[in-house]
Amino acid sequence: MTRYVFVYGTLKRGFYNHILLENSEFIGDVVTKNKYPMVNVEEHFPYLINDIGIGHNIIGELFKINDETFTKLDILEGYPDLYTRETIKVISFGIEISAIAYFVKETIEYTNLELMEEYY
């Protein structure tokens, strides 16, 4: 089965975990339809928090993945213990696409943290 995955951190092109997506089809740069809080509590690990309507429309990348890659991403993200995964809407060139996104499972108090729009 083929799925779409929205990536916003170290799985993006040019980052060290992108190797897991190197055989996947890059669809394009996208932005989330809804706003979400994203924080960088640890220096190299942005966390997307599933609080819809707070924060920013998150800028990321969309990939078409197969089952084997999906399994590898679950392992990397520590699903279901460390991350949950939800189907969200992302927008590319005005078109809405459903994609899987990984959200941190841990409760993070983010009200005093800088909310990010994009991870660099």
User: So which residues are the catalytic ones?
Assistant: 77
Evaluate whether residue 119 is within a structural domain: no
User: How confident is the model at residue 41, as a pLDDT?
Assistant: 87
Locate the DSSP E strands across the chain. 3-7, 25-36, 38-42, 45-48, 56-65, 83-92, 95-104
Evaluate whether residue 117 is within a structural domain: no
Evaluate whether residue 112 is within a structural domain: no
Question: Percent of the chain beyond pLDDT 70?
Answer: 100
In the three-class reduction of DSSP (H, G, I as helix; E, B as strand; rest coil), residue 52 is classed as: coil
Evaluate whether residue 51 is within a structural domain: yes
Domain that residue 49 falls in:
3-104
CATH number, domain containing residue 40: 3.10.490.10
Separation of alpha carbons 93 and 50, rounded Å: 24
pLDDT at 2 over 80: no
Q: What is the pTM of this model?
A: 0.96
Evaluate whether residue 113 is within a structural domain: no
The total number of structural domains in the chain stands at: 1
One-letter identity of residue 79: Y
